[in-house]
């Protein structure tokens, strides 16, 4: 016997709540420990989950972290009576960062470098939040409703030219995500053609997701490789400084000392850039790529549930359950959004 939740309702009566069934029971609120979103999932789960709020918090923490690195290192140096002016050795920076950029150009395809720039901006930019997922789930619900009323051919006007679709234009956050738009529309075209069974369609979507995952993993890996080379390039700059110092070994001690200090700045800059900035930022890029991947994966679970024949509300619930807990909308929030979309449509 199929589960009770799939027996109740036809999905045509409204949002996910109506799709699951009109037989309502008194709502029971589960006891939650460890945050307003349930479970000890860390501080991030207690942040406001709206897209702009989440993006603002992540951006602020990243900036605060970088400021702390600079402030603590330079602050401790000054407290030790160090002269900050000694650290300004332009020739050392040219040697280290110039060699790092050159080696990156040798080892990294231009497409990966472009992806690195995009992901580096993305870390401090917009990332999928609760409202983005509500929009995505509501869009899928409306598309599933169209298929239920008009058949799969009702999708064609929307998936052939999504940028001109009145339905898609209601969800600007989705249209801005080109990977998600392409993934959804291409998969829906396969569904419309009727040429793939559910398990074959799942394999097709997994192949697409695996390809995207591999491509999105390359920019952080490239930055990590550059980060790993920075201490060595710092040593190169230091050795060159020592060579210069040895050429003036018969000079006064103050000059020799300044040359040695200048050489050691190269080692300092290389190590600090590697472990204080590039390495952590590469990890942040990995996290950003993972969040983008989860957004697209949410589409997979909704479409897969739909082709298996479940009603629109249940299909959307399958997709909602795949959303990361830090950005996951509640059942009631999705139900309300779907009901509003249906009443306005």
Domain ranges of the chain: 48-345
**Once rounded to an integer, what is the mean pLDDT over residues 50-76?**
80
Tell me: pLDDT of 30 over 60.
Answer: no
What pTM was estimated for this model as a whole? 0.76
Residue 37 DSSP class: T
Tell me: pLDDT of 112 over 60.
Answer: yes
Whole-number mean pLDDT of the chain? 84
Residue 329 DSSP class: P
Task: Render the burial of 78-115: b for 16+ CB within 10 Å, e for the rest.
Answer: eeeeeeeeebebeebbebbbebbeeebeeebeeebbeb
pLDDT computed for residue 52 by the predictor: 52
**Residue bearing the bigger pLDDT, 249 or 72:** 72
Cβ within 8 Å of residue 115, ≥6 positions away = 215, 216, 218, 219
Residue 23 pLDDT grade (very low, low, confident, very high; cuts 50, 70, 90): very low
Q: Which of 4, 8, 26, 30 is nearest to 17 (CA)?
A: 8
Q: Is 279 helix (H, G, I), strand (E, B) or coil?
A: helix
**Once rounded to an integer, what is the mean pLDDT over residues 27-46?**
37
**Once rounded to an integer, what is the mean pLDDT over residues 255-284?**
93
Residue 114 pLDDT grade (very low, low, confident, very high; cuts 50, 70, 90): very high
pLDDT computed for residue 252 by the predictor: 86
Q: Which of 168, 134, 167 is nearest to 316 (CA)?
A: 134
Q: Which of 220, 16, 266, 198 is nearest to 117 (CA)?
A: 220
CA distance 128 to 314: 22
pLDDT computed for residue 56 by the predictor: 60
Q: Are 137 and 341 in contact (CB under 8 A)?
A: no
pLDDT computed for residue 25 by the predictor: 38
Number of Cβ within a 10 Å radius of residue 316:
33
Q: Are 324 and 310 in contact (CB under 8 A)?
A: no
pLDDT computed for residue 341 by the predictor: 85
**Once rounded to an integer, what is the mean pLDDT over residues 46-60?**
56
For the stretch 292-320, pLDDT in tens is: 999 999 999 999 999 999 999 999 999 99
Q: Are 344 and 336 in contact (CB under 8 A)?
A: no
């Amino acid at each position: 016997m199929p589960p009770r939740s799939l027996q109740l309702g036809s999905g045509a009566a409204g949002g996910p709540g109506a799709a699951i069934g009109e037989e309502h029971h008194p709502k029971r609120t589960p006891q939650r420990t460890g945050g307003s979103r349930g479970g000890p999932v860390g501080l991030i789960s207690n942040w406001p989950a709206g897209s702009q709020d989440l993006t603002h918090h992540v951006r602020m923490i990243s900036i605060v972290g970088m400021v702390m690195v600079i402030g603590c290192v330079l602050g401790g140096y000054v407290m030790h009576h160090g002269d900050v002016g000694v650290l300004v050795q332009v020739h050392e920076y040219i040697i280290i960062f110039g060699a790092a950029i050159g080696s990156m150009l040798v080892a990294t395809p231009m497409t990966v470098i472009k992806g690195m720039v995009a992901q580096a901006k993305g870390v401090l930019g917009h990332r999928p939040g609760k409202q983005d997922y509500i929009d995505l789930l509501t869009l899928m619900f409306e598309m599933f409703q169209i298929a239920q009323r008009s058949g799969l051919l009702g999708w064609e006007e929307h998936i052939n030219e999504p940028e001109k679709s009145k339905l898609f234009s209601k969800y600007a956050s989705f249209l801005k995500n080109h990977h998600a738009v392409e993934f959804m529309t291409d998969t829906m075209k396969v569904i419309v053609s009727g040429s793939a069974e559910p398990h074959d369609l799942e394999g097709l979507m997994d192949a697409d997701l695996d390809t995207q995952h591999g491509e999105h993993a390359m920019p952080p890996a490239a930055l990590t490789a550059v980060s790993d080379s920075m201490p060595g390039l710092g040593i190169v700059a230091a050795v060159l400084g020592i060579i210069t110092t040895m050429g003036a070994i018969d000079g006064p001690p103050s000059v020799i000392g300044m040359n040695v200090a200048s050489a050691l700045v190269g080692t300092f800059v290389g190590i600090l850039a590697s472990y204080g900035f590039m390495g952590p930022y590469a990890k942040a890029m990995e996290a950003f790529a993972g969040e983008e991947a989860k957004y697209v994966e949410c589409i997979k679970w909704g479409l897969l549930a739909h082709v298996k024949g479940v009603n629109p509300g249940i299909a959307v619930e399958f997709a909602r359950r795949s959303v990361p807990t830090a950005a996951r909308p509640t059942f009631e929030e999705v139900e309300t959004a779907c009901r509003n979309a249906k009443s306005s449509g």
